[in-house]
Amino acid sequence: MKDHHEPTDPTDAGPADSGRRAFMGVAAGITAAVVAPGVVLHSVTAAPRSEAVTSDVRWGLLIDTAKCVDGCSACVDACDRENGLNLQNKPASASQEHWDDQKAVWIRKVQLQDNQTGRVTNLPLMCQHCEHPPCVDVCPTGASFKRADGIVMVDRHTCIGCRYCMMACPYKARSFIHKAVEDQLTRVPRGKGCVESCNLCVHRRDFGEDSTACVDACREAGHEAIVFGDLKDPESSIRKHLAEMASRQIREDLSLNTGVRYSGI
């Protein structure tokens, strides 16, 4: 029985076939010449994204409250711009007070006073990226999750908007998207009815950049109060700082081993 997929003898090809083959060859060459650089370029740019995140690193922040300046909101503004939080619009019929209670906030400035000494401290507060995050434990669908590199974030495809993670977060770090967002950034998709929080500028991580928007802004403002880095790398700047200065976690009593550490409080 003849195999229908048997290749035909090349000597059988007539002049018409050879002409067609030549044309095909030229077309393929031109196509390759035009498309290939794009393919190569694309694959090179996207390389970091194609690699699985590993637990060889654990990203974290160290905040030196002694350097955090009263009245400065550079980190907050930068976070808002980087993550499209500045694109949120107050509904015309909502009062400012109501809107302030409902708009998403990923990082905020907090000013504290020690009840005994009266000493005033300023600090930025965001998701603390716990090693054992309560938000991940309570999420019924597993939408709230921790990446291998320690970043805690929300899968917006499986978040059902139950807000149990917000109830469980000891840092009040999460925000619910109360209304539809018209303008948003593709790198930080935002959906009405889902929960979100600081993700340590995860898009930067995945493209191999070595800082976050808040860290850059703080440096540019001349304060350098925030250090970002790999908590597992003994040679990283954050580890060296942590070795030199006393630091603590907020709500240490919960033993969550947060990825964000503070000195001076």
Partner 1 sequence: MKRIIYREWRIPPARYWGLLGILASVVVIGALAFAYMEHEGHWVTGMSNSVVWGTPHVFAVFLIISASGALNIASIGTVFRKPLYKPLGRLSGLLSAALLMGGLLVLVLDLGRPERLVVAMTTYNFRSIFAWNIFLYSGFMAIVIAYLWSMADRHGEPYNRPIGILATFWRLALTTGTGAIFGFLVARQAYDAAILAPMFVVMSFAYGLAIFMLVMMFTFTEEGRPIGERILCRLKNLLGIFILGVFYFTLVYHLTKLYGAKNHDLVGWLLLDGGIYTFMFWVGWVLVGGLMPLGIIYHPVLSKDRTWIAAACGLVIVGGLASMYVIIIGSQAYPMQMFPGHTVLASGFFDGVQGEASRYSPTIPEVLLGLGGVAIALLITSVGVRVLQFLPESLADDVLPVDEEKIVEQGPAGAKA
Contact footprint for partner 1 (CB under 8 A) = 73, 76, 91, 94, 97-102, 104-105, 108-116, 120-121, 125, 134, 136-142, 158-164, 166-172, 174-180, 191-195, 250-251, 254, 265
- Nearer to partner 1 by Cβ, of 59 and 171: the residue is 171
- Nearer to partner 1 by Cβ, of 50 and 116: the residue is 116
CB 242 to partner 1: min, Å: 21
- Nearer to partner 1 by Cβ, of 73 and 237: the residue is 73
CB 206 to partner 1: min, Å: 24
CB 42 to partner 1: min, Å: 32
DSSP annotation of 124: E
Residue 174 in tokens: 């999460």
CB 56 to partner 1: min, Å: 25
Q: How many other β-carbons are positioned within 10 Å of the β-carbon of residue 219?
A: 15
CB 176 to partner 1: min, Å: 6
The values of phi and psi at residue 69, to 5°, are -90, 140
Distance CA 265, CA 257 (A): 17
- Nearer to partner 1 by Cβ, of 237 and 257: the residue is 257
CB 252 to partner 1: min, Å: 10
- Nearer to partner 1 by Cβ, of 176 and 207: the residue is 176
Q: What angle do CA 249, 250, 251 make, to 5 degrees?
A: 110
CB 246 to partner 1: min, Å: 17
Q: What angle do CA 162, 167, 170 make, to 5 degrees?
A: 145
- Nearer to partner 1 by Cβ, of 57 and 217: the residue is 217
- Nearer to partner 1 by Cβ, of 53 and 265: the residue is 265
Residue 90 in tokens: 């107050």
DSSP annotation of 209: -
Tell me which residue of 164, 207, 201 sits closest to 85, measured CA to CA. Answer: 201
Which long-range contacts (C-beta less than 8 Å, at least 24 apart) are formed by 68-74?
A: 68/109, 68/121, 68/122, 68/123, 68/124, 68/223, 68/225, 69/122, 69/221, 69/223, 69/225, 70/111, 70/120, 70/122, 72/109, 72/122, 72/221, 72/223, 73/109, 74/217, 74/218, 74/220, 74/221, 74/223
Q: List, in sequence order, every residue forming a beta bridge with 121; answer none if it has no partner.
A: 112
